Structure 1
Amino acid sequence: MAESASASTSVWYFIGATFIVALPVMLFPDMPWWVRLGSIVSALIVMTAGGVQLRKELRERNSRGGDSSSD
């Protein structure tokens, strides 16, 4: 059970990035361009962190699965 909980952590980064982009545009349609750009940059940072987390999770999953397929 703990393995499935830790495996889905990176998904929340990607969901958060989606909300960072979508919510300000939907809730505040008259935002200045620089605020929109800031939300896009913030979302890209969160997506990058999600990619790093996903890579970490995949490495952990592969190391637990056995070393039969070496790189």
Structure 2
Amino acid sequence: MRIKVRVIAGARTNEILELDEPHHYKVKVTTVPEKGKANTAVMKTLAKHFQVSASKIRLIKGETASDKIFEIIL
């Protein structure tokens, strides 16, 4: 399953908000966007939300952008 994610790095809390469109999410993480640390935090947050291992989540597009596409293997 592929999902579109808008990442807000440097937020006060880690949280996931589902948007109106299917498979669109807004993910807030406390980690700063530096050397891929925020991407790792987003993957861990998504893994917890979808109850899968972090190794089942792969970043497809948007490594340095705030809009990203992730693939989740269920």
TM-score w.r.t. the length of structure 2 is 0.29
Of Structure 1 and Structure 2, the greater helix share is in 1
Structure (1 or 2) with the larger CA radius of gyration: 1
Q: Give 1 or 2: higher strand fraction.
A: 2
